[in-house]
Structure 1
Amino acid sequence: MISNNVSAYLPLLLNNRREDPICAYIYDINKLKKHVHYLKESLPSYCSLFYAVKANPDMKIIHALEEYIDGFDTASEGELNKILNLTDKPIIFGAPAKKDRELEYLSKGNLHAMNIESERDLHRLNRLGSVTGEKLPVLIRVNSTYQVARSSHKMTGVPTQFGIEEKRIPTLLNDLSDYPYLEVKGFHFHAMSNNLDALDHLEFIHSCREKIVEWKAVFSLPSATILNAGGGIGINYEHPEEPFDWETFTNGLQQMKALFTHEGIQLILELGRYMVADCGFYVAEVMDIKRNHGEHFALIRGGTHHLRLPAAWKMSHPHTIYPVDEWYDEPLPRPELREEFVTVAGELCTPNDLLIRKSYIERLKAGDLVVFSKAGAYGWTISHHDFLSHPQPEFHYLE
């Protein structure tokens, strides 16, 4: 679905069209602010809402979010500096392979906490703390045994490069006296990406809380008061009419309130995709329509070098056809399809440049616009912009 703000803006985009076909990202900042305000207000008091910058590091997006959220999750020095230049809100840093200069942000007091991803991280950060003479706040990232069934990517419970295997955590906690310059503030359990099952997500959080309560008691960890459940709440790209049930999720969190507050545990949710996906739209003009080997193809100005997600996940991205009556290329014929299945491909010289796969359309003409919704997360910044050196899209912000 196209938001009302974007629908009203598309005629302006068409009116300003010059020689080059239309290709643009449009971010509906007003829609974003309303959505994030709703997310924050629906969470219980023991829960903090952080933004996972990796989902979209656009500074106008970040600036719009800053007044509503409690903090930021960063995974690189570049992301970290963007946030440090904007706000003094808490920042958590997590990455599986940290540079020495990234570790130093913790010792300089710039971070709320840093994730421990391995035993080597323990040694490196403890050594850094010994130089400053101060305990450094850390979260131990756990590669847990819990698997969330409906997530598209599993970070834990299967062999991955993330965190420390759960069965090794007791040994690590038992040996914490070997690391006198580290203060364990809690545990990080980010376990999945794009989970669509609210009840399973609640069960995952409940399981994490039980483990923290046990470890706090067995290993005497009074300062371990943070349960960082990461993000992983998903967007249903293939069936948008069946979204993640946020209301069921927050009602479940409300029911857990007594369990968390009794133990003095703060729950952190680091949302990325679920926070910003719906505010972004990628708009591309149809350049040509053709038929090969019994199948119809529409070719757009743009492609997966701008919006890589549909090719990476081998899916049809949610979209709407915006019809354009005026044909700019008179008197040449205007290719058109009616009541057919069509595959929408980009301008790259590769058969992998597909954004929509065999989707039924009532009518599609050269010169129409394809508006890809839910493009506000993992869109532009995960894409291979320089392949074939095509021009970048325009960027528009509706405020």
Structure 2
Amino acid sequence: MMFDAEKFISVIHDLAHPDKSLCAYLYDLGALASHARNIKSSLPDRVNFFYAIKANSDLPILSALAEHVDGFEASSGGEIQWVRQNFPDVPLIFSGPGKLDTELELAILNNVTVHIESRFELERLLHIARHYQQPAEILLRVNPHFEDLRATSLMMGGKPTQFGISVEHLSDCLKMVRDNSDCLYFQGFHFHLLSHQLDAAQHLRLLSAYIEQAVKWKEEFNLVIDHINVGGGIGVNYKDIDQQFDWCHFSHGLNNLLIGAAKNIPKIRFEMGRYVSAFCGVYVAEVIDIKTSGNGTYVVVKGGTHHFRTPYAQNHSHPFKVIPVSTWKKPYSRPGLRHGKVNIVGQLCTPKDLLAFDEMVGEIRVGDIVLFSHAGAYAWHISHHDFLRHAHPQHIYLPA
């Protein structure tokens, strides 16, 4: 899905007001639904598509996606409650380390499949399942080491981390599952070693390694497996927005991979987040000051990383577009810059409040609007909203 800023321009001009500085998130729900529908339709029949709501759990976002995905993935008790409150029947899975007993209880009582991260977590889930006399569906998240695993900017496995069960503990966990099969319904394995993958060919090789490993364990331990959860991991290229993950190559390659694999391999399940919702959202902020310091020019916008932490979290200069605002009714001058490099910063009392840096602009003035694209995932939802107690941005959802 390629980003189309023009859809937002007229809405932003309508929102701009001479007496009130603008700061908002805008989401195109029609584009989101279309993107999800295209993802789903391009996947082979043996593949399930879940949405990881940690990327963006706003109710309008989830509602737009619900009919185009096979289920949702939650990573906390709060997310489980949020989904069940609004989507009582949607298939739901529960991932992540450090699950509380209360969260495991919530999962069992709400028919949520649990991805087990450690032997101790498995032991606690078993105890809770027996207490409630309610069987628990589980996958074992395993952290294998693959010799040729190519690193990305965010690695959750393939090396010692807090995620997943170490391979040397797998046999013990499977024995516990087998000895308690009346309470623990083993569904398969969960692999999620990396995120921010931009190379479709590399991701196909990784999935092939996942499948091969799962089939080996299936045969070694004489297992019945319903599916393999391969996580998400597909990234968004914020540094070069015209060069995104090649989904067509990937989906075609995945189909060939499954055709060529052993006929007894289980179903495949994805739980994608960033790649699903990032493209549908923008963060917009009005320019409130422009000043120079040494050789640098700083554009201060209403907002910052407390609203939009993505650039700092990803360590990049975020792509943006300047939207000119022609009206100016203030009784003082209007600072501006033509044809120069700027650093775009927010209102926070820290030099880390940096949204874009060393970027060329044709013209920018106080009162103009800066639109940051690709802000529909891990943006507002990972930000420290109440630092300095600034007002929250508006949240506006463009209907389909």
Q: Secondary structure at the match of 1:73?
A: strand
Contact 1:186 1:227 in 2 (8 A): yes
Specify the alignment match of 2:158 in structure 1.
157
Q: Using the alignment, how far apart are the partners of 1:197 and 1:171 within structure 2?
A: 35
Identity of aligned residues (%): 40
TM-aligned CA deviation for residue 237 of structure 1: 0.2
Q: Secondary structure at the match of 2:216?
A: helix
Q: Alignment length, in residue pairs?
A: 394
Q: Superposition pairs for residues 161-172 of structure 1, below 5 Å?
A: 161-172=162-173
Specify the alignment match of 2:62 in structure 1.
62
Specify the alignment match of 2:121 in structure 1.
121
Tell me the amino acid that sits aligned with residue 227 of structure 1. Answer: I
Q: Using the alignment, how far apart are the partners of 1:298 and 1:254 within structure 2?
A: 47
Tell me the alpha carbon deviations over residues 43-87 of structure 1, each in whole angstroms, 9 at most, x when there is no partner: 110010000000001111011100110001001111111211222
Q: Using the alignment, how far apart are the partners of 2:151 and 2:193 within structure 1?
A: 12
Specify the alignment match of 2:351 in structure 1.
351
Tell me the alpha carbon deviations over residues 238-294 of structure 1, each in whole angstroms, 9 at most, x when there is no partner: 111110010111011110233567115111110100000001100001111110021
Specify the alignment match of 1:295 in structure 2.
296
Specify the alignment match of 1:360 in structure 2.
360
Tell me the amino acid that sits aligned with residue 290 of structure 1. Answer: K
Q: Using the alignment, how far apart are the partners of 2:291 and 2:167 within structure 1?
A: 54
Tell me the alpha carbon deviations over residues 190-212 of structure 1, each in whole angstroms, 9 at most, x when there is no partner: 11111101111111111111111
TM-aligned CA deviation for residue 18 of structure 1: 5.2
Contact 1:51 1:271 in 2 (8 A): yes
TM-score, length-scaled by structure 1? 0.95
Q: Superposition pairs for residues 1-399 of structure 1, below 5 Å?
A: 2-14=4-16, 17=17, 19-87=19-87, 88-111=89-112, 113-146=113-146, 148-149=149-150, 151-174=152-175, 176-180=177-181, 181-222=183-224, 224-259=225-260, 262-330=263-331, 332-399=332-399
* Aligned-residue RMSD, C-alpha: 1.7
Q: Secondary structure at the match of 1:172?
A: helix
Tell me the amino acid that sits aligned with residue 258 of structure 1. Answer: I
Q: Using the alignment, how far apart are the partners of 1:175 and 1:121 within structure 2?
A: 12
Tell me the amino acid that sits aligned with residue 296 of structure 2. Answer: E
Q: Secondary structure at the match of 1:186?
A: strand
TM-aligned CA deviation for residue 124 of structure 1: 0.8
Contact 1:148 1:201 in 2 (8 A): no
TM-aligned CA deviation for residue 320 of structure 1: 0.6
Q: Using the alignment, how far apart are the partners of 1:45 and 1:380 within structure 2?
A: 34
Q: Using the alignment, how far apart are the partners of 2:295 and 2:165 within structure 1?
A: 51
Q: Using the alignment, how far apart are the partners of 2:280 and 2:178 within structure 1?
A: 47
Tell me the amino acid that sits aligned with residue 250 of structure 1. Answer: S
Contact 1:260 1:266 in 2 (8 A): no
Tell me the amino acid that sits aligned with residue 183 of structure 1. Answer: Y
Structure 2, gaps ≥5 residues long: none
TM-aligned CA deviation for residue 178 of structure 1: 4.0
Contact 1:148 1:154 in 2 (8 A): no
Q: Using the alignment, how far apart are the partners of 2:76 and 2:144 within structure 1?
A: 24
Tell me the amino acid that sits aligned with residue 211 of structure 2. Answer: R
TM-aligned CA deviation for residue 2 of structure 1: 4.4
Contact 2:190 2:231 in 1 (8 A): yes
Q: Using the alignment, how far apart are the partners of 2:108 and 2:176 within structure 1?
A: 22
TM-aligned CA deviation for residue 177 of structure 1: 3.6
Tell me the amino acid that sits aligned with residue 326 of structure 1. Answer: T
Q: Using the alignment, how far apart are the partners of 1:270 and 1:42 within structure 2?
A: 15
| Residue range with higher mean Cα deviation, 251-260 or 280-289 | 251-260
**CA 1:148/1:84 → structure 2, altered by over 3 Å: closer, same or farther?**
farther
Contact 2:109 2:134 in 1 (8 A): no
TM-score, length-scaled by structure 2? 0.94
Contact 1:46 1:260 in 2 (8 A): no
TM-aligned CA deviation for residue 110 of structure 1: 2.0
Q: Secondary structure at the match of 1:282?
A: strand
TM-aligned CA deviation for residue 148 of structure 1: 4.9
Contact 1:323 1:368 in 2 (8 A): yes
**CA 1:235/1:150 → structure 2, altered by over 3 Å: closer, same or farther?**
farther
Contact 1:139 1:188 in 2 (8 A): yes
Q: Using the alignment, how far apart are the partners of 2:295 and 2:180 within structure 1?
A: 66
**CA 1:78/1:172 → structure 2, altered by over 3 Å: closer, same or farther?**
closer
Contact 1:170 1:215 in 2 (8 A): no
Q: Secondary structure at the match of 1:221?
A: coil
| Residue range with higher mean Cα deviation, 43-52 or 139-148 | 139-148
Q: Secondary structure at the match of 1:298?
A: strand
Contact 1:46 1:261 in 2 (8 A): no
| Residue range with higher mean Cα deviation, 256-265 or 192-201 | 256-265
Q: Using the alignment, how far apart are the partners of 1:84 and 1:167 within structure 2?
A: 36
Contact 1:23 1:285 in 2 (8 A): yes
Q: Which runs of 4 or more aligned residues in structure 1 lie more than 6 Å from their structure 2 counterparts after TM superposition? A: none
Tell me the amino acid that sits aligned with residue 198 of structure 1. Answer: A
Tell me the amino acid that sits aligned with residue 37 of structure 2. Answer: H
